[in-house]
């Protein structure tokens, strides 16, 4: 079983950036519930889980991806905060860190071991992609609507729809990790 302590250890640095203890606790609870529903029983399994099935992740796992996207989005938010004399919109870093950590939590329901050492899309994942399933679990765990917006609108489901600014930052940070891999697979990435 994956416990709250396991999740707190995995994402320690990002969780400590969430100032609201209630929000932090709900983020942890969402990971525990999604792990349970997805049948993930150990942290070692999470470290083996690819972050995507859409392209070869080349060894990047779900936990590493979640951290990279969360920190990438936070860096985008900090860059604007520091560079602009007047930030035209408020960036809520509690929302950003909570949403970043949870943006792909639905993948715990969408991806499953294939029994042959690899991974495949689950039946639940065929019914609802991870932005939708993640939003449902997060809402069940008491995450507020603004964080749910980040989860449900971070991928293509959110394109052309109203988004909180933190969803925009997480979307960009997410694609910054995904596009180079997809380009590499297609022979479109110049590496010199």
Hey, how many other C-beta atoms are within 10 angstroms of the C-beta on 40?
21
Report d(CA 126, CA 2) in Å as an integer.
24
174 contacts Fe ion (rule: CB under 5 A) = yes
Residues in binding contact with Fe ion, number by CB under 5 A:
2
104 contacts Fe ion (rule: CB under 5 A) = yes
Question: With left for phi above 0 and alpha for psi between -120 and 50, is residue 140 left, alpha or beta?
Answer: alpha
Report d(CA 187, CA 31) in Å as an integer.
35
Answer for the pair 116, 58: CB distance below 8 angstroms, yes or no. Answer: no
What string marks each residue from 122 to 161 as x (binds Fe ion by CB under 5 A) or -? Answer: ----------------------------------------
What string marks each residue from 38 to 67 as x (binds Fe ion by CB under 5 A) or -? Answer: ------------------------------
Query: At a CB cut-off of 8 Å and minimum separation 6, what does 73 contact?
Result: 96, 100, 166, 169, 170, 172, 173
Helix (H) or strand (E) holding 77: helix 62-83
CB of 129 to Fe ion, least distance (A): 12
CB of 122 to Fe ion, least distance (A): 17
CB of 177 to Fe ion, least distance (A): 7
Closer residue to Fe ion in complex, CB, 104/112:
104
CB of 35 to Fe ion, least distance (A): 17
Residues at the interface with Fe ion (CB under 5 A): 104, 174
């Amino acid at each position: 079983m994956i416990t709250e302590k396991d999740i707190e250890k995995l994402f320690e640095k990002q969780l400590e950036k969430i100032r609201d203890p209630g929000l932090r606790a709900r983020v942890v609870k969402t990971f525990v519930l999604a792990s349970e529903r997805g049948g993930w029983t150990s942290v070692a399994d999470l470290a083996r889980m690819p972050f995507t099935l859409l392209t070869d992740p080349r060894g990047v796992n779900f936990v590493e991806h979640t951290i990279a996207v969360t920190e990438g989005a936070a860096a985008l938010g900090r860059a604007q905060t520091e560079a602009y004399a007047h930030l035209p919109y408020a960036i809520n870093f509690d929302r950003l860190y909570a949403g970043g950590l949870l943006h792909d939590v639905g993948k715990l329901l969408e991806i499953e071991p294939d029994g042959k050492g690899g991974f495949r899309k689950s039946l639940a994942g065929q019914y609802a992609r991870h932005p939708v399933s993640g939003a449902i679990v997060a809402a069940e765990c008491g995450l507020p609507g603004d964080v749910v917006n980040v989860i449900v609108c971070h991928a293509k489901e959110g394109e052309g729809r109203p988004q909180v600014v933190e969803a925009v930052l997480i979307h960009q940070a997410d694609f910054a990790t995904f596009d180079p891999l997809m380009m590499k697979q297609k022979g479109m990435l110049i590496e010199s």
